[in-house]
Chain A
Amino acid sequence: MDNKLTLLELNQRIKETLNREFQSTYWVIAEISELKINRKGHCYLDLVEKDELGDRIVAKAKGIVWSYTFRMLKPYFETTTGREFKQGLKIMVNVSVEFHELYGYSLYIHDIEPSYTLGEIARRRLEVIKKLEDEGIIEMNKQLPLSQVPQKIAVISSKTAAGYRDFIEQLNNNPYGYIFYSKLFPAYMQGDEAEDSIIKALEKIYQYEDLFDAVAIIRGGGAHADLGCFDQYHLAANVAQFPLPVITGIGHEKDESVVDMTAHTKMKTPTAVADFFVSKAYEYEEKLLGLRDVVVERTNQYINLENQKLRNLYSQIYPNVKSILEKSRNILEIRKEKFLHIHRNFLNKKQQNLTAYSKKLVSSYELSFQKNFHELKNYERNIGNLVRNYMKSQKKHMENLAKAKEYLDPKNVLKRGFSITQKDNQTVKSSRQVKKGDTIKTCLYEGKLVSQIDYTEKEENIITGKK
């Protein structure tokens, strides 16, 4: 029992042995599982190694970066890798093995090799990309048609971020006066919570999918910020499968992030994203104006063509019409002449007729006058003869009458034996005037007889023979 030691003695012997055995420094690969910085600026880490599947820790050690080292090491690492020096990172560090009697085993970190971490990041990034490719979703968002004028934009950013302000400024003060409607869906844009936070914002936008034309994921400032979340599988997969085109303006100098790769369009900065939307509207309007110019040009061509056709028709028709008109005018002239001629002839003829008639009339009048005159002369002669003859015959007649008067004198008649019978001083000319017993008086050349009627006979008139 002589070889018994105090704890301090034992720890001292371990320390001596370790110092002797681990005199130099070693490059060690490990993952940071815990990280604390105390107020003096010393950095205390838990370094672990996991098995191949990554779910079981197979080795663990405490690590310390003294503040004078850490002040240089941290920015060096972060500017080189673009990643925040924090838990979860795989790092390659130069360590010395230390043992302290009171605090035990730890590794003092003197240097770091960022390119190892870069390689690790690149490897992990490639793994994520490969997974997205294998699942067939990496190009999905790119295949979405972007509205010709993405005017309604859902923005995922941090309310206070300078990048968001730049974006809104650039969008709303565009030189063409285009109107854009933007709605901010706030999210953490860096750090451990960023991935989940951005996915939640996407889910929110998904509820109002119909209201928006596109999603803009923007962040800005902080050149040394950790953009590791944008290489994460879940966020990249969400962006890839989002039903609206996603435009990124994450702002980083190195390789594009996986989210950039899966987004519809990747721009470098928030300002560039705003310019992208403005340029889309501008392109649209240019296209519209270009179409207008072509429509105007084609319409003018069309109208000119029609005018040319009309002119051609006119030049074809005009001479025809002209010749037709001239022909018609000639015909009219000829007809007019003809008409005038006929008219004149007609008038002349009529006049001649009239003259002839009047001559004829005068001559026939003269003729008839002479004829009548001759007749009158004849009449005159004839009347003289007639009067003479008449006078002669009347003279003869008068002589005859004088002879007849002697014959007819009743004394001469009575002398020749005729008598006149009277009844009541009426001359009896018929036997019917008297009847038996009547007294009649008969006048003779010399003396009268009075007798009474015995009887009457109806005898025929001795002169006429009538009964």
Chain B
Amino acid sequence: MAKEKQQLKYGDAIEEIEKILKQIENEELDVDDLTSKVKRVSELLSLCKKKLRTTEEEVENILKDIEAE
């Protein structure tokens, strides 16, 4: 989960959720798949929310090290 948080791209998350939504709307999923996909959506949601609001020290450190002048 921590690894995915760093690698997760906001655009990819939206794309994946939209894809799942389309599958649900087209009734391509059986009930078992539906459960796991809905789970995945909520996982992506919490990952994105976390990424939006939690400071990644690694990023901060990299930016600190840049010689800007």
Task: For B59, list chain A residues within 8 Å (CB).
Answer: 152, 181
Interface string of A266-298 (1 = CB under 8 A from B): 000000000000000100110111011011001
Q: Which A231-254 residues sit within 8 Å CB-CB of chain B?
A: none
Is the pair B25, A288 in contact by a Cβ cutoff of 8 Å? no
CA distance A47 to B52 in the complex (A): 57
- The residue in chain B whose Cβ has the minimal distance to the Cβ of A280 is B10
Is the pair A291, B69 in contact by a Cβ cutoff of 8 Å? no
Task: For A289, list chain B residues within 8 Å (CB).
Answer: 45
CA distance A208 to B68 in the complex (A): 10
Interface string of B9-28 (1 = CB under 8 A from A): 01101100110110011010
CA distance A178 to B56 in the complex (A): 12
CA distance A147 to B14 in the complex (A): 12
Q: Which A116-138 residues sit within 8 Å CB-CB of chain B?
A: none
Could you tell me how many residues of chain B have their Cβ less than 8 Å away from some Cβ of chain A?
33
Could you tell me how many residues of chain A have their Cβ less than 8 Å away from some Cβ of chain B?
33
Main secondary structure of the interface of B (DSSP, over half): helix
How far in angstroms is the closest Cβ of chain B from A409? 136
Q: Is A184 interfacial (CB 8 A cutoff)?
A: yes
Q: Which B49-69 residues sit within 8 Å CB-CB of chain A?
A: 49, 52-56, 59-60, 62-63, 66-69
Given contacts A178-B52, A178-B53, A291-B21, contact A184 B68 (CB under 8 A): yes
Q: Is A211 interfacial (CB 8 A cutoff)?
A: yes
B66's contact among A208, A291, A299, by CB below 8 Å, is which?
A208
Interface string of A394-408 (1 = CB under 8 A from B): 000000000000000
CA distance A302 to B31 in the complex (A): 9
CA distance A397 to B26 in the complex (A): 135
Is the pair B14, A295 in contact by a Cβ cutoff of 8 Å? no
Is the pair A295, B21 in contact by a Cβ cutoff of 8 Å? yes
- The residue in chain A whose Cβ has the minimal distance to the Cβ of B42 is A292
A288's contact among B45, B53, B54, B66, by CB below 8 Å, is which?
B45
Q: Is A99 interfacial (CB 8 A cutoff)?
A: no
Is the pair B31, A306 in contact by a Cβ cutoff of 8 Å? yes
How far in angstroms is the closest Cβ of chain B from A150? 10
How far in angstroms is the closest Cβ of chain A from B10? 5
Given contacts A178-B52, A186-B69, contact A211 B63 (CB under 8 A): yes
Q: Is A350 interfacial (CB 8 A cutoff)?
A: no
Task: For A295, list chain B residues within 8 Å (CB).
Answer: 17, 20-21, 24, 38, 41
Is the pair B14, A285 in contact by a Cβ cutoff of 8 Å? no
How far in angstroms is the closest Cβ of chain A from B68? 5
B24's contact among A181, A204, A299, by CB below 8 Å, is which?
A299
How far in angstroms is the closest Cβ of chain B from A78? 30
Q: Is A324 interfacial (CB 8 A cutoff)?
A: no
Q: Is A183 interfacial (CB 8 A cutoff)?
A: yes
CA distance A273 to B62 in the complex (A): 23
CA distance A292 to B60 in the complex (A): 30
Task: For B38, list chain A residues within 8 Å (CB).
Answer: 295, 299
A179's contact among B17, B52, B68, by CB below 8 Å, is which?
B52
Task: For A179, list chain B residues within 8 Å (CB).
Answer: 52-56
Is the pair A302, B41 in contact by a Cβ cutoff of 8 Å? no
Given A204-B67, A295-B41, 9 more A-B residue pairs with CB atoms under 8 Å apart are A148-B11, A179-B53, A186-B69, A284-B10, A291-B21, A291-B41, A294-B21, A299-B38, A302-B29
Question: A-contacting residues of B (Cβ < 8 Å)?
Answer: 10-11, 13-14, 17-18, 20-21, 24-25, 27, 29, 31, 34, 38, 41-42, 45, 48-49, 52-56, 59-60, 62-63, 66-69
Question: B-contacting residues of A (Cβ < 8 Å)?
Answer: 147-149, 151-152, 176-179, 181-186, 201, 204, 208, 211, 281, 284-285, 287-289, 291-292, 294-295, 298-299, 302, 306
